[in-house]
A and B are shown apart, each in its own frame.
Chain A
Amino acid sequence: MAGISNTIIEKANHPRPHVGESMVPVTTRVFREIGFLETMEKEGFPRKYGASWHAPQNKGKVYILFGEFPNDLTNQDYTYHVDRSRMDLLLLKRAEELGSTVYQGIPVKQVLFEDGYAAGVRIGVGNQEIDLRSKIVVDASGRNTLLGRQLKLKVKDPIFNQYAVHAWFEGVHRGDPDVAGHIHIYFLPIERGWVWQIPITETVTSMGVVLEKDAFTKVARGNMEEFFWEQMQTNDNLAEAMTNARRINEFKTEGDYSYKMSKFVGDGYLLIGDAARFVDPIFSSGVSVAMHGARAASERIKLALETNDFSEAMFKPFEEKMRTGVDIWYEFIRLYYKLLPLFTLFMQSKKYREQVHRLLQGEVYDRKEVPVLEAMRKFIEAAETTEGHLFKAQLTDVPIDAIPEDLLTPVAMAD
């Protein structure tokens, strides 16, 4: 953050592995603004020109090419797939180049408060704890949700309770050459179940299974390998892709999948990225939301320092912007799971194809700019209310309206 004294305290020692390996095109805008796009290009991360979706039993697939509707803001017809251990290290170095002080391998134990304002952090160094003072604290602790847990802000998503198992493989058949660089999403014949296929290098592919947690009983019994390979056989195209696949690292799991904080800002603090909210990653939205969140947060932080106002009200516009953005993703995700064929129908519709594309590229920060969501709602309503509607049988029980407050339960504190 040019011109502003800041310290990044990172629990891990980089490079370190991390999930979240595929992006949407609008992320490029932030890379360019922070002088990082050149690095992305130079490092040769696989280019992502589009996305492909596969129905089970080889009953059809649909794909998009970002180049079909070029994005003026990014001026590129592709985004990237990344090995997050490499990219995150490069980003950290870039922050250092721009003037940040970076400490690695240092856990933040808690955020300190004074007169109701966040006033610094307590860090662990060896056996000692040291307090560091600051005017503003930004929680970017990801799914650890440090401040959210400390202040009991964390609310579990009442609809999605998914769980993921993932690993890297060699020998995955990524499909025909024109789509081999895509992210591939394979639907499983189980509600809200899907598999990602993401190219990491020329030969290494990330594969991950996402399912409702209840479906993971075998994992609980320790049969991760068996469970994973069983799922690979439930979609014909996926089974074909995995015919000669060989796992090259350990399986990792992600639980307590979707959540949000009851607020993203307070006096003296802001929560960004996964530290604020996490939604089903089926549209690769996570890194974009984190980068745009950091961008929006930096604007308010700059203003706060200029005016010496560190109140919640000062940071609120950041929260509103991020809520709008992630709410749009979340609405799209719910409509998508509500009636899967609808996505294909709208993708092939001349009227809506471009709007669906824009959404998938990550242009989600103004609800008025995405009327396709209203059109999807109307279609679902028609399917629900029209007698004999030919898509009625495909409707699931995913609620698409506002979620009643009583369903929003705080997450039990882990510590």
Chain B
Amino acid sequence: MTVKQQLEHFITQELLLGQETEIDPDQSLTASGVIDSLSLLRLIAFIEDTFQVEIEDTELSPDHFETLNVMVDLVEGKLNHK
């Protein structure tokens, strides 16, 4: 599975409990309430465990978590610099 597919799978299955099977990669997940402080905690744990990368304190902003696409950019950027 690609980074995008893995992230989308986690968001739809774990955060949305299977209510959706796919999401618009440019949809704001913070504005729609999919990502709040508690789901963000789970998402961070998932990203760090699955991709073996570390999210910096200053990266917890909409620039990196607003949409599926920006999350993919963040993770792929980290994987490319490993």
Total chain B interface residues with beta-carbon distance under 8 A: 19
Partner of A345, one of B41, B58, B62, B63: B41
Q: How far is the CB of A59 from chain B (nearest CB, A)?
A: 5
Give the complex CA separation of A348 and B41 in angstroms.
Answer: 9
- Give the size category of A's interface with B: 20 to 34
Contacts of A391 in B (CB 8 A): 37, 40, 60
Name the CB-closest residue of B to A376.
B57
Q: Does B1 contact A (CB under 8 A)?
A: no
Q: Which residues of B contact A324 (CB under 8 A)?
A: none
Interface residues in chain A, defined as those with a beta carbon under 8 Å from any beta carbon in chain B: 55, 59-60, 341, 344-345, 348-351, 378-379, 381-383, 386-391, 393-394
Collect the chain A residues with CB atoms within 8 Å of residue B35's CB.
390
Which residues from A are CB-within-8-Å of B37? 341, 390-391, 393-394
B41 touches A390 (CB 8 A): no
Assess whether B54 is in contact with A390, with CB atoms less than 8 Å apart: no
Interface centre among B45, B49, B54, B58 (most CB of A within 10 A): B58
Q: Does B44 contact A (CB under 8 A)?
A: yes
Chain B interface residues toward A at CB < 8 A: 30, 35, 37-38, 40-41, 44-45, 48-49, 54, 56-58, 60-63, 65
In the complex, what distance in Å separates the CA atom of A275 from the CA atom of B67? 54
Considering the chains assembled together, what is the distance between the CA atoms of A386 and B61 in angstroms? 7
A390 touches B65 (CB 8 A): yes
Name the contact of B41 in the complex, choosing from A341, A381, A387 (C-beta under 8 A): A341
Check A383/B57 contact, CB under 8 A, given A349-B48, A391-B37. Answer: yes
Question: With the chains together, A379 CA to B57 CA distance in Å?
Answer: 5
Q: Are B60 and A389 in contact (CB under 8 A)?
A: yes
CA distance A393 to B60 in the complex (A): 13
Within the assembled complex, what's the spacing in Å between the Cα atoms of A348 and B34? 21
B residues in contact with A382, CB < 8 Å: 56-58, 60
CA of A389 to CA of B55, assembled, Å: 13
CB contact between A387 and one of B48, B57, B61 (< 8 Å): that residue = B61
Q: Which residue of B lies closest to A59 (CB)?
A: B38
Q: Is the CB of B40 within 8 A of A390?
A: yes
Q: Least Cβ distance of A340 to chain B in Å?
A: 9
Measured between beta carbons, the chain B residues less than 8 angstroms from A344 are 41
A60 contacts which chain B residues (CB < 8 A)?
38, 41
In the bound complex, do residue A55 and residue B60 qualify as a contact, i.e. CB atoms below 8 Å apart?
Answer: no
Decide if A341 touches B38 in the complex (CB within 8 Å). yes
Residues of A with C-beta under 8 A to B58: 382, 386, 389
* Residues of chain A contacted by B38 (CB below 8 angstroms): 55, 59-60, 341
CB of A350 within 8 A of CB of B41, answer no
Nearest B-chain residue to A385, judged by Cβ:
B58
In the assembled complex, the CB of A54 is this many whole angstroms from the nearest CB of chain B, namely 12
Among residues of B, the one whose C-beta sits closest to the C-beta of A345 is B41
